[in-house]
Structure 1
Amino acid sequence: MYQYTRTAFLLLSITITSFACQNGSGGNEVTIVDKIETQATNQYYVSNRAPLIPSSLIKLPVGSVKPEGFLKEYLLRQKEGLTGNLGEISAWLQKTDNAWLSPDGEGKWGWEEVPYWLKGYANIGYILEDQKMIDEAMVWIEGTLNSQREDGNFGPKHFDGDNQDFWANMIMLYCLQSYYEYSQDPRVLELMTNYFKYELTVPDENFLEGYWQKLRGGDNLHSVFWLYNRTGDEFLLDLAEKIHRNTANWTGRDLPLEDIKNYYEVRDGGEVPDWYRDQVDWHNVNHAQAFREPAQYYLLSKNEQDLKASYENFEIIRNHFGQVPGGMFGADEDARPGYADPRQGVETCGMVEQMNSDEHMLRITGDPFWGDHAEEVAYNTYPAAVMPDFKALHYITSPNMALLDAENHFPGIGNKGPFLMMNPFSSRCCQHNHSQGWPYFIENLWMATPDNGVAATLYGANQVEVKVGDGTLVTIKESTHYPFEEEIQFSFSMEKPVEFPLYLRIPEWVKSASISINGELVRDQISGIGFAKINRTWYSGDQISIQLPMEIETKRWEKNSNSLSVSRGPLTYSLKIREKYLKKDSDETAIRDSKWQDGVDTKKWPSWEVHPVTDWNYSIIVDENDPASSFEVMKGKWPSSNFPFTLEEVPIKMVVKAQQIPEWQFDQYGLVGELNDLPKTSDQPVVDVTLIPMGAARLRITAFPELKNSPSTNE
């Protein structure tokens, strides 16, 4: 379980240890810090203005980070897949009668789908410098900019009952902010200023009233602070207070049951447990997206209890529904008491919103924990949710999932319909919203620091351009096959030498990291989550290597039948199950609220069932006192496709002993049987099985049943 108490201590204190050495390029000072100091203010990138709490980490403008390796391949596959083609196939994105392109906000199509999709689509265009994508995005940006009305309101006229629904506009504000970072178009600031003045005039009793918008007010709050940091308009602080007091109570504990608005049920008709009242909502996407709202408000309130509440929110849902590997939780649509087995899953929307929230929390707090967690979701759960060609995805992804078919699995999962199969129309929300996951992750690989330095906050192959020190533009190329390999190399180029601090995130799972500069070891035996700060004068041609040794670790999930999971560094491993793909007609299998544009050749966009070809009902035999002794790590060549998340091309595997559990079968709902029904012993022979990274497994067993010693094991 994630520990708030440790993290809270880090937020209130800074621990520093230092190590210095000399080499040919001058002095190197290496210190290990729990978090980055905020006494200074970055001179080159927009930071928090007073009275907001000073920025811990500062987002670089979109396009500053250019992905390489499989991160670039992901964007290219998105461009050729659903993200790049939804404008031609999704009815919600058709331009005819679209309220987002209407000056008066009227039209048949006009809610969350356009901005959900545009968040990712436009940013992929900016990052790849793809003019065709940028031009298409500008159709929607210009339509939005031209939609502002005299009262300051903009966008579709969409209502939740008698009140305006502000939710879709919250998403579009993200799109406008990215466009401003890319273009510096002053119309964005003008629209946002007038719109926020309009929001300030709406009576509280009519503001953020309804379900989605009331729970997700933190996104509105984020945009208000974004604008305040650029204009300094003090009325925005009044609006921030208004948004917070009208947003659902994400700090609340022991709430009245009537305050919890999501659909819920208790298994077998039991009583609602007391702990269920400790969250204002248990919808999976709402939680992943909105648990951070108190921490966002903390920037203005400066009340440590607000910050603490977001950490607690993160832990509460994982304590009751997140006792599983992969970083997420088993909510299906809505978390239901009594349904927490590793076969329960999470929406693809929930994954990308969790990644976005982790990135927000990393910037707000400077706590490297959030970098660890963003990687855990991005490199394990999210790749498993999407077909390798990015032309289909499924709504629900779980740690234990051995069959993806078009059947209805309710009430085993909390959704009625074909929500497990890979479908280009796996519900209108995830179909559009998944597009933000990788471009936002890439944008946050690097962040500026208050002391005019730069921090490697997430790891992956890329190249960044950033102003540091005295304003010199530095290019840093990060070369790595992380998270599959342990070494990350950084090379520097700039027009003149410049002094600035570089921060490298040290993940919590690392036991003995080491850093070399220009081939000379400057620090080793680094352990414990934090940042390695290297303060020196940098020269063009300088090189850094950081080694992050990846040890095999096991974890017992005591609250989930004492199941076992295996990780190596940032990657969680799953049983390799051979897969058989069956093509289905998407006209027949599309989720009920998905809609094609007229005239689309739907045969080009099939759905897929994925069936197991090999047995999946194994548990593994591990010496938990010495896990490494139980596994043979097999490293292969890096795939020529630059895409490591498939059974055929994954570059690392592990072999381990295992036994079948014959009683473990698909149940009456067509789902992997629950762990608490299984025997603790097996009389089956001990065999070798292969484990692969979770993200490469469209079918997987990741939480293995507890299996106590049996005669076969002893033999």
Structure 2
Amino acid sequence: MLKFRGKSILVLALSISAIACQPESENAEVRFVEKIDSQSTNQYYVSNRAPLVPSALIKLPVGAVKPKGFLKEYLLRQKEGLTGNLGQISAWLQKQDNAWLSPDGEGEWGWEEVPYWLKGYANIGYILEDQKMIDEAMVWIEGTLNSQREDGNFGPKHFDGENQDFWANMIMLYCLQSYYEHSEDPRVLELMTNYFKYELSVPDENFLEGYWQKLRGGDNLHSVIWLYNRTGDEFLLELAEKIHRNTANWEGRDLPLDQIKNYYEVRDGGEVPDWYRNQVDWHNVNHAQAFREPAQYYLLSKNKADLKASYENFEIMRNHFGQVPGGMFGADEDARPGYADPRQGVETCGMVEQMNSDEHMLRITGDPFWGDHAEEVAFNTYPAAVMPDFKALHYITSPNMALLDAENHFPGIGNKGPFLMMNPFSSRCCQHNHSQGWPYFIENLWMATPDNGVVAAIYGESIVKVKVGDGTEVQLEETTHYPFEEEIQFAVSSPKDVEFPLYLRIPAWTNGASIKINGELVKSDLSGIGFAKIQRTWKNGDLISLTLPMEVQTKRWEKNNNSLSISRGPLTYSLKIREKYLKKDSDETAISDSKWQKGVDTKKWPSWEVHPVTDWNYSILVDENDPASSVEVMMGKWPKSDFPFTLEEVPIKMVVKAQQIPEWQFDEYGLVGELKDLPKTSDQPIVDVTLIPMGAARLRITAFPELTTNPKIDE
């Protein structure tokens, strides 16, 4: 069981205890709570209906949260980059002969790519209030709404063998839900109702049969619950039960090998380890996306064993393949026993699906751990998967990777082909699916609470408009350079005085957080994973200041050759490696299934190799009993571009002592050598090296090899 501050995640998830503090000045009552009480029901935002488990946290409609700072810059770069232009370059998004625009569902192009892309593209339009993007999204939304057939089915006629393939429709349902939040168009509820009646009519033996749809039924379940909370139609509860029993068994343990769904292999032809039978599938995206299905079903079953199963799924993957910094795991595409070194990576799809799952789990459970984890992936792993201008991305990103090129690195990574190349046309799933990462993250920064309050659930510079207390709509403006700096400011704008609870998430990594209201300290020394609840009558112009002290911390990854990582606050740090970018022709470096529209000028969409200019084979020397004494933290100016995730503009760095390990080189597969093959000592001189936040390092060493003799500390 993973533990934080001595408490298991599961205990935190199921606990409803609160630790009260004395009322403070500024007429504010400040309390630390491990969970937000869910006994009441929010009056202004759609929450779980009976008999479902009451909502722990409630998603606000798309557009209620507006990003500022680098989060807004990310959306603008997506708009001008790959996300905003895929409609003109991706073969799967061409309108001619596209089954998503066909009333009868016929057409050459018609599977997951359109809804994958539309999830992010449309929501960026809604969030930025960009009418051109909204109009383009509406072409696809209208096509979908007009595609419903007499039996209730909609979308492309796509089959998995002899059975209907429900997978792509699961993604499009997300798009329709966001559109409904934006527009309240009643046609969405009508389509979904008729479609779910169709699903209920399909015999079990023909329902969710196949690979992707069977594993990802949790997304279908999510949409059924979403609709039930809006219409109350009781048949939807029957359908929810049907979906769960026909979805792959994500609660299964000690399963027969023939029930493991993904392709798998064991290194050097060894035996399949017993623990491998404790997950129904080890495909990286399936796991990131579907580990939460039991928790989604828990909302209906009310059986805490279902909720526990999702926590266990998360832990099982990380115990065996996630002993690395950055929050993800080394599955490449399918996790392979014997391949768990930090040079193994995760698909870009896996990152954004994990972020989405974290956001789901945060709303389902109210457990702040999921807010911590969403930030960990978003700030450390995801940024380096794409080019800074968002015009190319690669399939696999690893904690330790010192070369990105167009070569085949199999079997070092579990994919054959140029899967490390930054290419705008490769990896058709990630090419389209990456679009959801930042808009969904932004939508979940703020959430409504059951007691008509609001919570800063995930931190990022933003503005939220939300109904609270007696129904007054207030605006909260969050100003910060978090996660690079400790201070977060909140400004209240309200047409009148209004009482409501404001909750601020206290991350697990901080000690001694403090809160000021209008410049006056109201609470200090807040520690422990949970929330600070501030109950107060708020006035227009009130200012709240939250300080989250960021200490330098180290972590030993004992299961991964006792490697070492170093962090400060939510950011993990990597060795700074100077990068040389080599432009390549995308026609020559795309993977085999890449396709683009006829007439596209691929010269305008080049691919990139990234080569190291400086040495990368270092391990750092840190006093683990007092890490701060070994590190010089250097704060720089905030970039004028508002984009801190590049070597040139990252606003913070660390200087630390290090030694080279000459034996650590690229191996025969062109990858950073595995840690297990390295010596534990080095006779090289001690030098200063620079570390930068992991997300800014497209080439990075983040899990440092163990050196048992540390001259700096032993002298």
Distance in 2, matches of 1:290 and 1:714, equals 47
Q: SS of the residue aligned with 2:515? A: strand
**What is the distance in 2 between the residues matched to 1:655 and 1:552?**
12
Partner of 2:222: 222
Contact 2:514/2:523, CA 8 A, preserved across alignment: yes
> Do the aligned partners of 1:683 and 1:712 also contact (CA within 8 Å) in 2?
no
SS at match of 2:21: strand
Cα distance, 1:426 vs. partner?
2.7
Deviation at 1:591, TM superposition (A): 1.5
Is the Cα–Cα contact under 8 Å of residues 221 and 243 in structure 2 kept in the other structure?
yes
| Alpha-carbon distance in 2 for matches of 1:7, 1:664 | 36
CA drift of 1:714 comes to 4.8
Partner residue in 2 for 1:614: 614
Rounded to whole Å, the distance in 2 between the matches of 1:274 and 1:143 is 48
Does the alignment pair 1:61 with 2:61? yes
Q: Distance in 2 between matches of 1:16 and 1:329?
A: 33
1:666 aligned residue:
666
Contact persistence 1:427–1:592 (CA under 8 A): no
* Cα distance per residue 1:86-131 (max 9 Å; x no partner): 0000000000000000000000000000000000000000000000
Matches of 1:445 and 1:679, distance apart in 2: 44
CA distance in 2, matches of 1:128, 1:226: 24
User: What are the residue-to-residue correspondences of 1:579-594 with 2, within 5 Å?
Assistant: 579-594=579-594
CA offset at residue 592 of structure 1?
A: 1.2
Is it true that 1:598 corresponds to 2:561 in the alignment? no
| Residues 532-587 of structure 1: CA deviation (Å, up to 9, x unaligned) | 00011000000100000000000000000000000000000000000000000001
Q: Report the counterpart of residue 209 of structure 2 in structure 1.
A: 209
1:13 to partner: Cα distance:
2.6
Secondary structure of 1:120's match? Answer: helix
Question: Is the aligned partner of 1:17 residue 2:19?
Answer: yes
Aligned counterparts of 1:459 and 1:537: Cα–Cα separation in 2: 23
Once residues 695 and 176 of structure 1 are traced to their aligned partners in structure 2, the CA distance between those partners, rounded to angstroms, is 32
5+ residue gaps, structure 1, are none
SS of alignment partner, residue 514 of structure 2: strand
1:308-331 CA distances to partner (integer Å, 9 max, x unpaired)? 000000000000000000000000
Alignment-mate amino acid for residue 6 of structure 1: S
Deviations 1:581-638 (A, max 9, x none): 0000001111111101001110000000000000000000000000000000000000
Any idea what SS the aligned residue of 1:532 has?
A: strand
Cα offset, 1:3, TM superposition: 3.4
The correspondence of residues 40-439 of structure 1 with structure 2, limited to 5 A, is 40-439=40-439
What residue identity is the alignment partner of 2:168? A
Mapped to 1, the partners of 2:33 and 2:216 lie a distance apart of 33
Partner amino acid for 2:493?
S
Following superposition, the deviation at residue 6 of structure 1 comes to 1.7
- SS for the counterpart of 2:357 is helix
Q: Secondary structure of 2:423's match?
A: coil
Cα distance between partner residues in 1 of 2:713 and 2:312? 41
Secondary structure, aligned partner of 1:19: coil
SS state of the match for residue 521, structure 2? strand
Q: Which amino acid aligns with 1:513?
A: A
| Contact persistence 1:638–1:651 (CA under 8 A) | yes
In 1: Cα distance, 2:305 partner to 2:243 partner? 18
Displacement of 1:261 in angstroms is 1.5
For 2:360, the aligned partner's letter is: H
Q: Is the 8 A contact 1:62 1:178 kept in 2?
A: yes
May I ask how many residue pairs the two structures share in their alignment? 713
Cα distance in 1 for residues equivalent to 2:345 and 2:318: 13
Partners of 2:422 and 2:451 lie apart in 1 by 46
* Separation in structure 2 between the aligned mates of residue 3 and residue 240 of structure 1, nearest angstrom: 32
Alpha-carbon distance between aligned partners in 1 of 2:391 and 2:579, rounded to the nearest angstrom: 18
Rounded Cα–Cα distance in structure 2 between residues aligned with 1:260 and 1:713: 47
Change (3 A) 1:711 1:693: closer
1:623 is aligned to: 623
- Cα drift, residue 23 of structure 1: 4.2
Give the 3-state SS of the residue equivalent to 2:573 in structure 1.
strand
Tell me the SS of whatever aligns to 2:28.
strand
Correspondence for 1:704: 704
Contact 1:58 1:448 in 2 (8 A): yes
Instruction: Give the conservation status (yes or no) of the 8 Å contact 2:57–2:362.
Output: yes
* Whole-angstrom CA distance in 1 between matches of 2:195 and 2:303: 28
TM superposition score normalised by structure 1: 0.99
Give the drift of 1:712.
7.7
1:514 and 2:521 aligned = no
Q: Is the 8 A contact 1:680 1:707 kept in 2?
A: yes
CA distance in 2, matches of 1:250, 1:587: 40
**Percentage of matched positions with identical amino acids:** 86
Given that 2:579 and 2:610 are in contact with CA atoms closer than 8 Å, whether structure 1 keeps it comes out as yes
Unaligned runs of 5+ in 2: none
Find the counterpart in structure 2 of residue 551 from structure 1: 551
- Alpha-carbon deviations, 1:486-512, whole Å to 9, x = none? 000000001110000000000000111
Aligned to 2:692: 692
Distance in 2 separating the partners of 1:564 and 1:529: 24
Decide whether the 8 Å contact of 1:145 with 1:187 is kept in 2: yes
Per the alignment, in what secondary structure is the counterpart of residue 392 of structure 1? coil
Give the deviation of 1:338 after TM superposition: 0.1
Q: Cα distance, 1:239 vs. partner?
A: 0.2
2:8 paired residue number: 6
**2:534 match: secondary structure:** strand
**Distance in 1 of aligned mates of 2:703 and 2:29:** 43
Tell me: CA distance 1:711–1:49, structure 2 relative to 1, closer, same or farther (3 Å).
Answer: closer
- Confirm or deny: 8 A CA contact 2:158 2:165 kept in the other structure: yes
Q: Secondary structure at the match of 1:187?
A: helix
* SS of match in other structure, 1:404: coil
The one-letter code sitting in structure 1 at the alignment partner of 2:130 is D
